[in-house]
Amino acid sequence: MTRKKSISPAPARHIPQRTCVACGEVRPQRELVRLVRVSGGGVEVDPTGRKMGRGAYLCPAPACWQAGLKKGRLEYVLRTALTGENRQQLIKYSQGLG
């Protein structure tokens, strides 16, 4: 019985791992979408992952965004409150992901 080589990351390189705040899955940072709390209290998508501020991560899956937004997970993690408009923005963004 022969086994195919499993695809594993190069051991020398450290890949930063992040947790999706909705489903709790741990994935490499670049596979997740970062959201950042901006000054003034709103939440923005941070495609570069480099914005200053408290950040949270979600899978690029509409289901996770909906769960994160509906259950208030995102607000809890970012310690902020979303306005209706802000929530709509994020939902809209998530709809473009699928």
Are the beta carbons of 90 and 82 closer than 8 angstroms?
yes
The residue (of 3 and 36) whose beta carbon lies closer to Zn ion is: 36
Q: Which of residues 30-49 bind Zn ion (CB under 5 A)?
A: none
Q: Which of residues 64-83 bind Zn ion (CB under 5 A)?
A: 64
Using the rule CB under 5 A, give the single segment among 1-9, 44-52, 59-67, 80-88 that binds Zn ion.
59-67
Q: What angle do CA 66, 24, 75 make, to 5 degrees?
A: 50
Using the rule CB under 5 A, give the single segment among 6-14, 15-23, 72-80, 84-92 that binds Zn ion.
15-23
Task: Specify whether the backbone of 9 is left (phi greater than 0), alpha (psi in -120 to 50) or beta.
Answer: beta
Exactly one of 20, 36, 43, 90 binds Zn ion (CB under 5 A); that residue is 20
For Zn ion, the binding residues (CB under 5 A) are 20, 22-23, 59, 64
